[in-house]
Chain A
Amino acid sequence: MSMLAALHRHRPRLAVSRWSSWLLVIVVLGYLLYTPLVSVPFANTQKSLIFSYALVGLGLNLLTGLTGQISLGHGAFFALGAYLCAVLVGNEGWFYLSAVPVAGVVGFALGYLFGRPALRLQGLALALVTLALALVTPSVIKRLDGITQGREGIILDIAEPPSFVSLDQDQWIYYVNLLILVAGFVVCERLSRGHIGRSMIGVRDNENVAMTLGIRPATVKTRVFAFSAAMAAIGGVTYAYAIQFVGPEAFGLDLAIAFITVIVVGGLTSNAGAVLGAVFIVYMPSWTQEINQSAAGIGYGVALVLCMLVLPAGLIGLVRIVGHPLVRRVPFLGPNR
């Protein structure tokens, strides 16, 4: 029991010295920049996919982790982004990068319109409404078959590398997605600290107290919802780059649960955790598919239950359990040494 209590204890983010955090950033970025040059196309596509799930995870982390609002429906905004990209770039011939701002703006607007009434609900009711949104998404796509080509889906051939670089398409898309993820990560990191981040946490922990401090909970919640919808839509665009195909069946309940798994397994309230969670949901099926085709689903399920019962802080909680003693003991790793 004491072991369980130790795992449950809340741990703050690691306080590492400035130079060691820069060192970590350089090592991670260096690895990420180098690895596509020496990997097979499949591995690059897999990593590009991780980047698009991580974008969704970052937005959901702000919404669920920091602001405390559940959404099971971000698959709908993800699908929106993917289809915007497929239709505008694939069918209409727009420049492929233009899909990113368009998806961001449309995702924000639709997220705002949906969130405005929906966020009057709390907890369970909000979960139900957003779950319904996720379940309706495939049938909406099929219904709009004039635009979306219904069940057949849209096959794409977009995001060609420009002529001045000698990269293959999978490598180029990897770098494009990585760049978008890094930009999204920096934005979310800025948002989750400082005044905005503290108002989100205030709304999560006690709305009444937050209100007395001059924060409007409804406004904060709706804006965060809209922002996370925009992140999901941009994630959808990068998904369309990576997979080069969009079809209705990819955007149903399974995807909604996958997104929840991203933030839960990674660790709620941590941006780095959202990225770790995305790594988990992409690689776990490829580790387990040798056992049985059902093993991946069981793995997701067990991970969700275990995280809630044993490790509420997710993978990032594990990192902190190992990291805190290290930071304290190893010279130059901690702050002010």
Chain B
Amino acid sequence: MASTDKTMALPETPAELERIPLVSNQRSIGWISDQVCAIMEGKLPMWWWAAFIPSLMLLCLLGTMLVYQVTTGVGVWGNRHPVMWGWDIINFVWWIGIGHAGTLISAILFLLRQKWRTAVNRASEAMTIFAVMCAGIYPALHVGRVWYDWWLFPIPNSNGIWPQFRSPLMWDVFAVSTYFTVSVLFWYMGLIPDLAVMRDRCTTKVRQFFYGLFSLGWTGSNRHWRNYEKAYLILAGVSTPLVLSVHSIVSLDFAVSQLPGWHTTIFPPYFVAGAVFSGFGMVLTLLVPLRSMFKLEDVITMRHIDIMCKVTLATGSIVGYAYGMEFFIAWYSGNPSEQFHFLNRAFGPYQWGWIMMMSCNTLVPQLFWFKKFRQNLKYVFIISILVNIGMWFERFVIIVIGLHRDFLPSNWAYFKPTWVDICTFLGTFGLFFTLFLLFLRFLPMIAISEVKGVTPQADPHHPLGGAKPKNNGH
């Protein structure tokens, strides 16, 4: 498709006021749909299969492990007295934390008018949905008798007893299921105009049918866009308190208990910051390789990477502050159990876990203060993986160190995961990457219409958007 801006001259802007454009090389808006849709239209690259087949095998491993757990009993996991929450809850919190970046990018950054979000929001929202699916497996399975999971819903059991809503575990059911549902709605609504793009350019009958069906007959009518934009704004508005509440409520699962190390008021904000931190870690892990494999360097530019590194740095520093504050409060409270717990964190038998957490979460992200690290994709990729590892260890530290030495020394024990724990966790990666790779192949991984909307060619008051020079004065 021919570019529309050949004859337009750029306005003179002083060099120091020039902002790095969100789409590099002055790509035309037609180029954006061509480039993004090429991912779904071209031949599948070898690396896709090289990633998909192992993912599918891990997914089978997950299925096997879950069948084994359900048919044998929850004892195949390493959860033993006194560590009754083991890898299941660690992995639940870890996956759901990863899910937070998607909604943060799509909702909070939308309200803050951060236009760079358009290049990364679709993939992050997909990541959110798949991560929440991985997370949801654990609470459903760790009850031991999955066939009683319906007791979590407001349905009376055979004795007419209802679930009791004074427990944060019930709040969590509502928070996580609402989060999943609203994330799917938000994601789908953003997809409608892009599915219409696919409908209008695909060539096979099957694709025409399915893209046509799911784009709901979208025509791009301005009367429709008006309602659409309002609905998008409202969804962003309600998702913002939602994303903040979900991990707050997850943290209340811990904070409402009486356990030293868990019973603290800092948990909700600290969990939310940690969730955003790990979520951005995962977004970087996924997008840094994808942008070069799919030749999307002009859409996900170095400026995007730079901003995301800065968000990682900021949230990582908040998490580091919370770690320090926990120690300070333990000392300041004068509570011997609290003080013992924190000394046990740093110097007890799980000191290695604590060191992993502290180094990956508080020290490593500090490298992002330097532009050299933010602009080097190898460093960004490695640091983002270390962030993911560090955040896994944070949950390990909170849960296992919090439980393994309780008030009675005769109860103390050293927790070890079983092979089923490890294989189930590996299996969730299979579920996540299988779904994510299918998403890359069948749905536009960049929000096409939103990226078009932030280019200068889309602005009717910009010369590239066709404005006459005399109208250019603001």
Q: Decide whether A and B assemble into one complex.
A: no
